[in-house]
Chains A and B, each alone.
Chain A
Amino acid sequence: MMKIRLMESSAVAGSTFAVETVGLTKRYPMAWKRKILVALDHLDLQIKPGEVYGLLGPNGSGKSTTLKLLLGLIVPSDGEARVFGLPPDSLEARRRVGFLPENPYFYAFLNGDETLHFYGKLCGVTGPALKKRVDELIDLVGLQNGRERPLRSYSKGMLQRIGLAQALIHDPDLLFLDEPTAGVDPLGSVQIRDLILRLKKMGKTVIFSSHLLEQVQEVADRVAIFSLGKKVLEGSLESLLTENHGTQIHLSSELDAAGQERVRKLLGQAGIADGAVRFSRPHLSLEQLYLRTVQGGVGSTTKDSNSP
């Protein structure tokens, strides 16, 4: 899966932020209703090179608008954005940026190979270097069976994967991924998650939006939660998710009733009231169960509460 050669990001050594915004605002005038829609309201962001940053929020909260502004696809109504210290719409900035849009549709008449060659040429990658890069990326995203097939016959998951490959074609320092796991099966999602982690190890900066909170939790260094065009919460996952009013003890083996009683007594001696102690068995998430089943090759077994 991970055979691709990814160059060390030169930006990591730099002192500037990979992405910096000050009071970034986007307003859309709605002439007919005599109203102004504020899609993004005074966003301040500072994302360091090499960071994996998650954008969370419901639909219409401003995540995609933020990405479009950072790519220079739309012009801010107010405020400023910089990508590696450069204006986002400059060619220099775009040479260092890769983008996967939400629910991407590429040229349906091209096959996988042609699509990557087209985007590669646009980025100035040509000749044997381009051919090698295409081979690497096809291998990376697991689309060997889609090389010769036209994109109109691709599934949603395959489109997402070819989209990811085109975003990486010029080996960018910064990746914007808008819902990268939308429409991808859980196994594919894990592969994308692993790819983000791999990119992070290579010093790349990744900014992505996702509705799959568990995945964000697994890869992001920091997250921002958006609501109605405003950033309402930001921080590292460690600081945001740690609750300061409890302690968890993890045991890798089962503790019977007698054992639980002994632990209660020990904790009681440490001044912890009996009612403050709770014992439960660890639970898998449905995604973990699915992956364990599919990847572990478990057959069609059934398990329910009545099973012996």
Chain B
Amino acid sequence: MMSSLYRIIVIGRNTLTESLRQKVLSVLLIFSLVLVCCSVYFSGIATPGLDAAGLFDEQIKFVKDFGCGAIGLFGFAIALLSTAQLIPQELQTRTIYTILAKPVRRSEFLLGKFFGIVLLLALCVALMSLAFVGTLYWQEWQGIALVQNVYGYGTPSWHADSISVGQYNHEIDLIDTQVRDPQLIEAVLLIFAKLVMTSGIALLISTFSTSTIFTIVTTFMIYLIGHLESTAREVWLGRGAETSIWQSGLLGFISLLIPDMNSFTIVDEILSGNHVPWSHALNLLAYANVYLIILLALSIVIFDYREL
């Protein structure tokens, strides 16, 4: 058992090294970091006629939306591109023969490869999140400077008006609350879980696919259907009695086959400042885990029977 785990880790680390040494992924990662940091610049384009508090509110929301959006988008590209080429590339270059000729089970090879991609995603999300947090703190510093300027903080008239001091402290507290929002950890975790699920779908398809393009296109389609299935459910099942058996059956089949990606849009609620309890986020993480286990089990079974 321990040696099996060790082999999975060795293959995983090698996969991570391979991904990090690929120029395409490095460029993608650097570009995403630059984009996350650039959200500060874009946030400067504000709606005219807002007061200091309103302006900051709008800017911080923009930074949050833009940052999390960039993490999700670039994470998706990295997850899809790196997972889709895992197996076809190994078969094309025949490196898989040299590994499976060693005392390595096919399941260990597959899990090791997937573990490497999860490590890569964790690293990318961590780096992008760091850039995101840095950008938020920069925005906080800007906001505090703006409020200080409005209330004349540090000038001789400071402290003269106790009402203004109270208002100033209130606005500083508001900035703090918006920037140091613990719910952002929830948001990043949910984005990461969605990326790992996307990667799991791509892995499953690559176990029987013969080309990288096929894997990318099919995974993308499943991702889209995963986003649309809950909308279809709402539209069809919302009519109550009007729903036919085949519609309910089809929806049931799709929701069993394809994970409900739309449930992860709860992240948007967090970014809008609405409270999403941890229990809900943990439920979603558990759902992602169960789905991932099913995806990996299916991948192992298919890959075990595949002619190399």
| Residues of chain A at the chain B interface (Cβ within 8 Å) | 28, 68, 71-75, 91, 94-95, 97-99, 101, 103-107, 109-110, 118-119, 121-124, 163, 166, 170, 176
Contact = CB atoms under 8 A, between A and B. Distances in A.
A104 B94 contact: yes
Interface centre among B11, B14, B95, B98 (most CB of A within 10 A): B98
B103 A95 contact: yes
A166 B17 contact: no
B22 interface: yes
Given A122-B7, A122-B10, A101 B103 contact: no
B135 to A, nearest CB: 32
Given A74-B307, A118-B14, A166-B98, 11 more contacts: A28-B307, A71-B97, A94-B102, A97-B101, A101-B94, A101-B101, A104-B94, A105-B95, A106-B95, A109-B18, A110-B14
Interface in B256-308: 307-308
B155 interface: no
B21 interface: yes
Nearest to A100: B98
Nearest to A121: B10
B105 A91 contact: yes
A99 B97 contact: yes
Given A105-B94, A109-B17, A110-B17, A122 B99 contact: yes
A296 B21 CA distance: 44
Contacts of A73: 97, 100-101, 308
**Which 5 A/B pairs are nearest by Cβ-Cβ distance?**
A99-B101, A109-B21, A105-B93, A91-B103, A94-B103
Contacts of A28: 307
A160 to B, nearest CB: 13
A91 B103 CA distance: 5
A265 to B, nearest CB: 63
Interface residues of B, number: 24
A234 to B, nearest CB: 25
A109 to B, nearest CB: 4
Interface string B77-116: 0000000000000000111011111111100000000000
Contacts of B177: none
Contact of A106 (B6, B7, B98): B98
A119 B307 contact: no
Contacts of A68: 97, 308
Interface of B: 3, 6-7, 10-11, 14, 17-18, 21-22, 93-95, 97-105, 307-308
A75 B99 contact: no
Contacts of A101: 94, 97-98, 101
9 contacts: A73-B100, A74-B307, A101-B97, A105-B93, A107-B95, A109-B17, A119-B99, A121-B7, A123-B102
B98 to A, nearest CB: 6
A99 B98 CA distance: 7
Given A107-B18, A121-B10, A122-B99, A75 B307 contact: yes
A271 B93 CA distance: 64
A207 B271 CA distance: 64
A32 B18 CA distance: 37
Contacts of A109: 17-18, 21-22
Contacts of B18: 107, 109
Contacts of A71: 97, 100-101
Contacts of B94: 101, 103-105
Contacts of A121: 6-7, 10
A122 B93 contact: no
Contacts of A97: 101
Nearest to A109: B21
A104 to B, nearest CB: 7
A176 B101 CA distance: 10
B3 to A, nearest CB: 6
A88 to B, nearest CB: 10
A90 to B, nearest CB: 9
B276 to A, nearest CB: 41
A118 B10 contact: yes
Nearest to A150: B21
A95 B6 CA distance: 16
A71 B18 CA distance: 26
B98 A104 contact: yes
B97 A122 contact: no
Contacts of A176: 101
A122 B101 CA distance: 10
Contacts of B103: 91, 94-95, 122-124
Given A105-B95, A106-B95, A110-B17, A119 B102 contact: yes
Contacts of B10: 118, 121-122
A71 B17 CA distance: 28
Contacts of A98: 101
